[in-house]
């Protein structure tokens, strides 16, 4: 179990670097279709759950990804002596393991409890067609269900709002976003102690919703009136939200202000912007998914000696 925790720590450190890089890249892709930003989070998720990797000269990871194990294998003074004096390192690892397991248990319990409470609230929902239900107990629509996703709507929705919402939620289902959101929440459970993973979860959820909005508007037609009407539907429903851990995809989830701004400024992208975006996303995904070739030992690394020397001086 200790080895598992150390692997989680290593993956969290590498994942943090990838998340920070994706946040920077988002700035350069802010005018690109949001589907590209959404796709970039996949490589961050990959680095947070897979302890193994492929070495390649194309790697954009500038450090050895086995940070803790590499330090564990070193001998001598400096940073190593500080960490391992009196077995203090092993003691802190053991304490960290139990704290981590407690946090994971709390996160999973929250997800299960929220799901049970929400399902009880939906007991009286009426099936109006296929997988679409109506109920008076909710104020905003959402999709819930992992193996058989269902769309739940408030009973008071006007016809046009209903059309927009159903199309939006059906798009989520077609893209399997409900599975992606659930997997992302499980990753968050594993790395609950890392604030950058929380940030990634929030940003990924927002990019998911904005890319879904864009796809819906492409089907409806991105005229000015359609965009305004769609935005008004979003704003009119920001009264209550459902999270249910990672299981529910609410129509009004994400940053509503950002979604509305993205909808109103949406326009057809040029082929050049599209091609550059695809190329950049593919290159970054490959570069972040693989590790650099390990051609030297960490004891010979200049940065390590510098850090160890500072630690000794202090």
Answer yes or no: is pLDDT of 148 > 60: yes
pTM: 0.83
In angstroms, the CA 278 to CA 36 distance is 7
The answer to whether residues 220 and 285 touch, using CB atoms and an 8 Å cutoff, is: no
Instruction: Quote the pLDDT of residue 242.
Output: 59
> Measuring CA to CA, which residue among 161, 160, 163, 181 is closest to residue 234?
161
Answer yes or no: is pLDDT of 2 > 70: yes
Q: Which residue has the higher pLDDT, 52 or 274?
A: 274
150-189 confidence digits (pLDDT tens):
999 998 888 888 899 999 999 999 999 999 999 999 999 9
237-248 confidence digits (pLDDT tens):
876 665 566 777
Instruction: Quote the pLDDT of residue 170.
Output: 94
* Domain definitions of the chain by residue range: 2-313
Instruction: Quote the pLDDT of residue 48.
Output: 95
Answer yes or no: is pLDDT of 302 > 50: no
pLDDT, average across residues 108-117: 90
Answer yes or no: is pLDDT of 127 > 80: yes
Choose the weakest-confidence range: 34-43, 267-276, 292-301. Answer: 292-301
Q: Which residues contact 82 (CB under 8 A, 6 or more apart)?
A: 311, 312
Q: Which residue has the higher pLDDT, 255 or 82?
A: 255
Best-predicted range by mean pLDDT (4-8, 93-97, 186-190, 267-271): 186-190
- Helix (H) or strand (E) holding 140, with range, is none
pLDDT, average across residues 9-37: 91
pLDDT > 70: percent of the chain: 84
pLDDT, average across residues 288-314: 52
In angstroms, the CA 257 to CA 236 distance is 12
């Amino acid at each position: 179990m200790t080895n598992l925790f150390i692997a989680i720590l290593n993956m969290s450190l590498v994942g943090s670097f990838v998340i920070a890089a994706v946040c920077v890249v988002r700035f350069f892709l802010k005018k690109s279709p949001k589907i590209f930003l959404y796709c970039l989070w996949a490589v961050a998720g990959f680095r947070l759950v897979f302890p193994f990797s492929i070495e390649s000269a194309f790697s954009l990871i500038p450090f050895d990804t086995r940070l803790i194990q590499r330090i564990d294998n070193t001998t001598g003074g400096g940073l190593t002596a500080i960490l391992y004096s009196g077995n203090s390192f092993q003691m802190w690892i053991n304490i960290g393991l139990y704290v981590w397991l407690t946090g994971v248990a709390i996160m999973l319990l929250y997800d299960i409890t929220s799901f049970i409470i929400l399902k009880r609230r939906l007991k009286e929902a009426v099936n109006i067609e296929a997988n679409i239900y109506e109920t008076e107990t909710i104020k905003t629509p959402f999709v819930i269900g992992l193996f058989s996703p269902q769309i739940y709507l408030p009973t008071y929705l006007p016809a046009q709002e209903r059309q927009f919402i159903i199309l939006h939620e059906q798009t989520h289902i077609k893209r399997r976003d409900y599975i992606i959101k659930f997997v992302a929440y499980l990753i968050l459970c594993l790395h609950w102690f890392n604030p950058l993973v929380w940030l990634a979860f929030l940003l990924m959820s927002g990019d998911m919703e904005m890319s879904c909005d864009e796809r819906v508007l492409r089907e409806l037609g991105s005229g000015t009136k359609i965009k305004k009407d769609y935005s008004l539907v979003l704003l009119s429903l920001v009264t209550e939200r459902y999270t249910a851990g990672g299981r529910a995809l609410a129509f009004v989830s994400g940053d509503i202000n950002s979604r509305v701004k993205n909808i109103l400024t949406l326009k057809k992208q040029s082929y050049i912007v599209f091609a550059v975006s695809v190329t950049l996303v593919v290159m970054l995904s490959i570069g972040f998914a693989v590790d650099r070739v390990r051609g030297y030992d960490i004891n010979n690394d200049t940065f390590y000696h510098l850090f160890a020397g500072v630690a000794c001086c202090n």
